[in-house]
Amino acid sequence: MNTAIITLSETGAAVARRLAAKLGGCDIYLHECAQALAGETSFPAVVPLTEEIFGSYRNLIYIAPCGVVVRAIAPLVCHKLSDPAVVVLDVGARWAVSLLSGHEGGANDLALAVGNALHAEPVISTTTEAEKSVIVGIGCRRGTPADTLVAVIHEGLAMAGVSLQEVRYVASAQLKSDEAGLLDACARLGIPLRFIAEDAIRACTRDFDTSSFVSNNVNLPAVAEPSALLAGTKTSCILNKTIIRGATIAIARENCW
């Protein structure tokens, strides 16, 4: 991924290693107060390190306070088309903030990838993305073709009376993170795909239709509706669980105002 992960503590180091294992292709930089393992690089101060590596990576992920990162990158920022994507993750792995080069530079996508890897909430403030308020939840059998899922999403949106341009995420359960048809369908549609942790779905207290089939097969009460509801903020369903072409779709809207 041509990605560097930089952190300032032992706690951050543990998070960095988990993240690197999930994303692959990452170099880890640890502040000298943490114990570096083989293949990791130790550094004494974040500002000179950032100056050294800023132009060497496409993606920089800091596990550190936002203020520290802002001060480190501020003198180096040049242009949104040339600066690296910068994402900031807290040491509790709760929030993945797209800080720099969000849209053009890929930090929005990177924040989502970090969020999916660690079940963190992606924080994306790009206006064109923040205006979108629709989340499409999808459940499907293993091996469902991308063509089918593209058609399902289009038909479901038509039933809900919303356009593709309003969709912020497609969402599904984490167990679908390697579902080729779903990944391909979202890539074709140009919609980010967010995965919801199974434990979060099981713990969800929102009102949604359960499925004995899903419960018996993947030990979840449902997939489409809770995924749509949990992938956003202040969500409510505008299309309840619906079966289309053998797949399940549910659509939620964020009510942020």
Q: What is the pTM of this model?
A: 0.91
pLDDT tops 80 at residue 110:
yes
In this structure, the answer to whether residues 137 and 167 fall within a common structural domain is yes
Contact 86, 53 (CB under 8 A): no
In this structure, the answer to whether residues 100 and 197 fall within a common structural domain is no
Please measure the distance between the N-terminal and C-terminal CA atoms of the chain and give it in whole angstroms: 37
Q: In what order do the strands lie in the sheet with 193-196?
A: 193-196, 167-173, 134-139, 247-254, 235-244
* Residue 211's pLDDT band (cuts 50, 70, 90): confident
b (16+ CB within 10 A) / e for 160-184: bebeeeebbbbbbbbbbeebebbee
Give residue 204's pLDDT: 87
In this structure, the answer to whether residues 84 and 151 fall within a common structural domain is no
Residue 135 and residue 254: Cα distance in Å, rounded?
Answer: 8
User: Of the candidates 97, 128, 159, which is a domain's last residue?
Assistant: 128
pLDDT tops 70 at residue 152:
yes
CATH of the domain at 208: 3.30.420.180
In this structure, the answer to whether residues 223 and 197 fall within a common structural domain is yes
Q: Which domain holds residue 32?
A: 3-128
In this structure, the answer to whether residues 115 and 144 fall within a common structural domain is no
Q: Which residue has the tokens 């039933």?
A: 159
Domains identified in the chain, total number: 2
